[in-house]
Amino acid sequence: MSKKKETQPVIDSYKSSGVTVLYYWTKFAVLTLYYAILSHFGLLSFRARLIMFCLIAPINRVVAQAAYTDPKNRMSVVRSLFTVLVDITEACVYVYLQTYFTGNYWWSTLILQIICVAVTEIVQYKIFDSSRSDYEVKTSDDPLDYLLAIVVAGTFHWLSWHVTFHPSLDAFSFPLFATSLYLFDAVFGTLHAYSHCIPWIHKKHMVHHQYRRSDLNAFANFYADITDSFVMNCGFFFVAFYFAVCGSGHIPMAEISFVALHTHARYSKTQSHLVFFFEFDLIDLWLKRDRLSTFHARHHDWPDENFAGFGLIQDDLFRAYLPGVPESFRKRRASVKTE
């Protein structure tokens, strides 16, 4: 008789369990003080934030990447400069939309930002990667599967009645944003873990998993069964309610949406995904930590890992404390055997 041998996937260098609690809340405390100081000196206006972003974020990101990336894999100077141009273009469009498309028009900023990210991504692909011929836009035969963007835009419209619109942040904007990330990850991660454990939901969820990590692009955000889309985006609904209860301004919700949009973007590893709170991203970059927009992409190659959207809650917590989840994963692991 042949021996049974358990096969283990080879773990690549990008696989990770997210950030630690100590690291996240230390960064939270430092940045809360930092933004309070900026607020005291009147440097949290949208104009000031955009100028600081354009001067600091893209250049620092390229320098950090050059310092920490294997020389064989470094981007060319031309591509690096083009990436900076894309960052600045997306940031300018984003800030313009958040400044002038407010009130009853705020919902449209989500749709327009989706278009902007998709266009800049396609342009980058056509210029630098068209020879690879691996940019695929998957489509569904069910028209209902395309309703996700409209549903999330509807959430924006509802929230527009409960938030304030000012062309400036205040000292409380960042704490609201940072705590809402945890709320989003708790809801998203919980539902996501169950979507891999409950058979009928798992079947629908695997439609989205037709995109592997190497295939991801801006359109992958919206390729899913409509039932799965509603389940996976409940985090946005909870976060919107949180902001409504707290009387937040509109930027924390806009920033979360901006990050979420980049979690499936093709070039998320080399682009900025925050504008008003871009320092949050720069710290992760310089310290070589998981960034908010890059954590989830790995899940498309490792479906039993990285359940949280942004990596703030560890996989072990979902497996250990969610009723029914530990048993499901134990059975799945036990079944991964070959003769």
* Of the candidates 109, 62, 95, the residue with the CA atom closest to the CA atom of residue 261: 109
pLDDT at res. 167? 92
Query: Is 9 inside any structural domain?
Result: no
Query: Is 303 inside any structural domain?
Result: yes
DSSP string, 111-171: HHHHHHHHHHHHHHIIIIIGGG--------S-GGGG-HHHHHHHHHHHHTTTSB--SB--T
Domain of 285, in residue numbers: 21-42+139-324
Query: Is 92 inside any structural domain?
Result: no
Residue 6: partners with Cβ closer than 8 Å, 6 or more residues away? 336, 337
pLDDT digits over 131-187, tens only?
Answer: 888 888 998 888 888 888 888 999 999 999 999 999 999 999 999 999 999 999 999
Domain count, the chain: 1
pLDDT at res. 2? 41
Which amino acid is present at 282?
A: L
Is 0.85 topped by the overall pTM?
A: yes
Query: Is 247 inside any structural domain?
Result: yes
* pLDDT digit string (tens) for the chain, length 339 residues: 444 444 333 333 334 457 888 999 999 999 999 999 999 999 999 999 999 999 987 777 666 666 555 555 556 777 878 888 999 999 999 999 999 999 999 999 999 999 999 999 999 999 988 888 888 899 888 888 888 888 899 999 999 999 999 999 999 999 999 999 999 999 999 999 889 888 888 899 999 999 988 889 999 999 999 999 999 999 999 999 999 999 999 999 999 999 999 999 999 888 889 999 999 998 988 888 888 988 888 899 888 888 899 999 888 888 777 776 656 555 555 554 443
Query: Is 5 inside any structural domain?
Result: no
DSSP string, 224-278: S-HHHHHHHTHHHHHHHHHHHHHT-BSHHHHHHHHHHHHTT-TTTTTS---STTH
pLDDT at res. 320? 74
In sign, the C-alpha dihedral spanning 153, 158, 162, 167 is positive
The Cα 238–Cα 187 span in angstroms is: 8
pLDDT digits over 87-128, tens only?
Answer: 999 999 999 999 999 999 999 999 999 999 999 999 999 998
What's the distance, Cα to Cα, between the start and end of the chain in Å? 9
Q: What is the CA radius of gyration of the chain?
A: 20
The total number of residues written for the chain in this structure: 339
219 phi and psi, to 5 degrees?
Answer: -75, -20
Helix (H) or strand (E) segment spanning residue 316:
helix 315-321
SS3 216: coil
pLDDT at res. 24? 93
Query: Is 66 inside any structural domain?
Result: no
Could you tell me if 107 and 152 are in contact, meaning their C-beta atoms sit under 8 angstroms apart?
Answer: no
